Amino acid sequence: MAASKKKKSGLGKGLNELFQGEDIQTMIDAIEKKPSQFAQIQVPIDQIRPNPYQPRKHFDEEKLNELAQSIKEHGIFQPIILKQAIQGYEIVAGERRYRAASIVGLAEVPAIIVEFTDQQMMEIALLENIQREDLNAIEEAQAYQTMMKKLDLTQEELAKRIGKSRAHVANTVRLLKMPQKLQDYVLDGTLTMGHIKPLITIDEKKALEVARKAIDQQLSVREVEDIVKGIKLQEARKAKPKEVKPKEYVYVEGLLRKKYRTKIKVDEHTITLKYTDTQDLNRLLELMGVIEEE
Question: Strand locations in the chain, DSSP E?
Answer: 41-44, 48-49, 80-84, 89-93, 108-114, 264-267, 270-273
Please identify which of the residues 66, 73, 95, 123 carries the catalytic annotation.
Answer: 95
Residues 172, 110: Cα–Cα separation, whole Å? 36
User: 150, 164, 153, 30: which is closest to 93 by C-alpha?
Assistant: 30
- Give the separation between CA 239 and CA 200, rounded to whole angstroms: 19
Query: Which SS3 state, helix, strand or coil, does residue 34 take?
Result: coil
Q: Judge contact between 91 and 98, C-beta under 8 A.
A: yes
Cα gap 129→123, rounded to integer Å: 10
Task: State yes or no: is 95 an active-site residue.
Answer: yes
Cα–Cα distance, 94 to 113 (Å, whole number): 12
DSSP state of 161: H
Q: Which residues participate in catalysis according to the annotation? A: 95
